[in-house]
Amino acid sequence: MSTLLTKHHNYVIGIFSIIVIIFSVQTWNRIGVWKDPNILFNDIIEKNPDNWHICNAYYSLGNYKRDKGDLQDAIKDYSKAISLNQEYAWAYYERGFTYSGMDSFPNAIKDYSKTISLNQDYVWAYYERGLAYKNMGDFQNALKDYSKTIDLDPEFIKAYYARGLAFENIGNFQNALSDFNTAIQLTPKNAQYYNSRGWAYFEAGNKKEAMADYDQAIKLSPEFAETYNNRGWAYYKAGDIKSALVDFDKAIKLDPSFSKPLYNRAMLNTSTQNFNGAIEDYNILLQHHPTDSLAYFYKGIIYYKDLKTPEEACKNWKKSMDLGYKQATVALQQYCH
């Protein structure tokens, strides 16, 4: 789950409203109730079940539970707050944010949209709805929300970066580069921004600029596995096999479960006829991602075409097919009897 504006209002609104209730309660000698927000908010709710303002206690309890990782119960508390105050924009927003953390993006979008209908200037609702659209593959609506975010707050750095990624996903590399440039101008020491701009440069055919950005990203963050992988791929495509292998090795060392450099190193090993090395790369990948059907499929190709062991090829294609990869079915029908 992403960080929400440094939890800018996680408890403040609820606690401020609750203070009035607390001072109206007959006695609060049991000071221990303050030590646990869960106990505090539930105690307030129990003592004031019909109080309209108690929706703030449910809201704050939802925030507390979400931050503790209890997302399902947090949803229930936000829903209770909304049932008590159907114009409670913050509760819709936080419930949407929690739905996003559960990958329930249609529900998240619905709540963000309700938040916006109640508060049309709430910039974070547009931004988070854009992220939800992006996660559903709806880049056009994501772009609209990121643009609205930027209209409301021209210095919202994350929105420029997110919009750049969305432009990149639809192949609009010039607009992507423009947004990455702005993000870097506003935050010149963010390695991720240089890495992403490097990829946009690479895809746009500007190899020199791409390499410069990858180098800068690594300078800023020497443990950033993704950049080593991307730079390794740039080296590989340029024919510099030795440098590519060094970068793929480094990326894998930094993050042994990172699929991309394992796939890329397997491809490099295959292209240099190190077929056993390629098989080993796929085996390592499958140790971390045992349901990766494509890795089994590629292993099958190497066994059949390069190592001349059709029995092993068919075993791997069968596993790939069982995991749902359709091309493996074709290979089994054509080469395995």
Domain harbouring 189, CATH code: 1.25.40.10
Q: Are residues 124 and 183 in the same domain?
A: yes
Same domain, 63 and 44: yes
Asked whether residue 139 is domain-assigned, the answer is yes
Query: In Å, how far are 298, 300, 302, 317 from 273, measured between CA atoms?
Result: 14, 15, 10, 21
Measured CA to CA, the distance from residue 197 to residue 201 in angstroms comes to: 6
pLDDT of residue 21: 44
pLDDT higher than threshold 60 for residue 33 = no
- Segment 142-167 shows an average pLDDT of 98
Shared-domain flag, residues 143 and 166? yes
Judgement on whether residues 26 and 97 belong to the same structural domain of the protein: yes
Q: In a 10 Å sphere around its CB, with 0-12 CB exposed, 13-18 middle and 19+ buried, how is residue 190 labelled?
A: middle
First CA to last CA across the chain, in angstroms? 48
Cα–Cα–Cα angle for 55, 61, 63, rounded to 5 degrees: 110
Q: Per residue in 128-145, pLDDT tens?
A: 999 999 999 999 999 999
Q: Is 186 within a domain?
A: yes
Clarify whether residues 103 and 128 are in a common domain.
Answer: no
Residue 105 shares a structural domain with residue 203: no
Last residue of a domain, one of 170, 189, 222: 222
Reported as a pLDDT band with limits 50, 70 and 90, residue 54 is: confident
Per-residue pLDDT reduced to its tens digit, 56-87: 889 999 999 999 999 999 999 999 999 999 99
Do 2 and 44 belong together in one domain?
A: yes
Statement to judge: residues 171 and 132 lie in one domain: yes
Q: Looking at the domain assignment, is residue 283 inside a domain?
A: no
What is d(CA 42, CA 61) in angstroms, rounded to the nearest whole number?
Answer: 8
195 pLDDT tier (thresholds 50, 70, 90)? very high
pLDDT of residue 15: 46
Q: Is residue 52 domain-resident?
A: yes
83 and 127 share a domain?
no
The per-residue pLDDT for range 166-177, each reduced to its tens digit, is 999 999 999 999
What's the confidence (pLDDT) of residue 5? 38
Query: Is the confidence at residue 88, as pLDDT, over 90?
Result: yes
pLDDT at res. 2: 40
State mean pLDDT over 85-92: 95
Final residue of a structural domain among 170, 202, 222: 222
Q: Is residue 228 part of a domain?
A: no
Q: Would you state the pLDDT for residue 48? A: 62
For the chain, the domain total comes to 2
Q: Is residue 202 part of a domain?
A: yes
Same domain flag for 60 and 168: no
Using CA atoms, how far residue 133 sits from 99, 105, 112, 116, in Å, is 13, 7, 11, 15
In a domain, 310, yes or no: no
Is residue 204 scored above 60 in pLDDT? yes
| pLDDT at residue number 56 | 86
Is pLDDT above 70 for 34? no
Both 153 and 86 in one domain: the answer is no
Q: Is the pLDDT of residue 16 over 90?
A: no
Domain of residue 165: give its range: 120-222
From 59, 89, 115, the end of a domain falls on 115
Residue 297 lies in a domain: no
Mean pLDDT of 218-236: 98
Tell me how long the chain is. 337
pLDDT digits (tens, 9 = 90+) for 251-291: 999 999 999 999 999 999 999 999 999 999 999 999 999 99
State both tokens at 308: 């001349």
Q: Let me know whether 2 and 79 are in one domain.
A: yes
Q: Which two tokens stand for residue 299?
A: 């292993």
Distance CA 28, CA 19 (A): 12
Residue 120 has pLDDT above 80, yes or no: yes
